Amino acid sequence: MSKVVIGIASGRKYENYLNWFLEVPDVEIIKLSYIDNNLESLDLCDGVVLCGGEDVHPRLYKESSYVEKYQLDDFDERRDDFEWRVLSYTQQYKLPLLGICRGLQIANVFFGGTLIPDIPSFDKPDHAKYREGKDRYHQVNVTKNSRLAEITGAETGEVNSAHHQSVAKVGKGLVINATSPDGIVEGLERKERTADSYLMLVQWHPERMTDGQSAFSKNIRDSFLESVKTIKK
* pLDDT, tens digit (0-9, with 9 covering 90-100), for 115-169: 999 998 887 766 666 666 688 899 999 999 999 999 999 999 999 988 899 999 9
Q: What pLDDT, in 10s, does the model give residues 68-111?
A: 999 999 999 999 999 999 999 999 999 999 999 999 999 999 99
Mean local confidence (pLDDT), 14-22: 96
Give 208's contacts (C-beta < 8 A, 6+ positions apart): 13, 16, 20, 135, 160
Numbers of helices and strands, H then E, in the chain: 6, 11
Q: Does 20 or 195 have the greater pLDDT score?
A: 20
Q: Dihedral (C-alpha) 28, 13, 204, 74: value to the nearest 10 degrees?
A: -130
The pLDDT of residue 10 = 86
Question: What total number of domains does the chain contain?
Answer: 1
The pLDDT of residue 82 = 97
- What residues make up the domain containing 17? 4-232
pLDDT bucket at 196, cuts 50 / 70 / 90: confident
Prediction pTM value = 0.95
Residue 220: enclosing H or E segment and its boundaries?
helix 218-232
Q: How far apart are the first and last CA of the chain?
A: 9
> Is 101 a residue of the active site?
yes
Residue 209 pLDDT > 70: yes
List Cα–Cα distances, 211 to 58, 89, 215, 218, in angstroms: 34, 33, 9, 9
Residue 62 pLDDT > 60: yes
> Is 207 a residue of the active site?
yes
The pLDDT of residue 131 = 60
Among residues of the chain, what percentage have pLDDT more than 70? 95
Q: Average pLDDT over the chain, rounded to whole?
A: 93
Domain CATH number, residue 140 = 3.40.50.880
Mean local confidence (pLDDT), 182-202: 91
Q: Does 194 or 150 have the greater pLDDT score?
A: 150
Catalytic one among 51, 101, 127, 186?
101
Catalytic one among 83, 186, 189, 207?
207
Q: Cβ atoms within 10 A of the Cβ of 196, count?
A: 10
The pLDDT of residue 126 = 65
Q: What is the C-alpha separation between 164 and 190, in angstroms, rounded?
A: 24
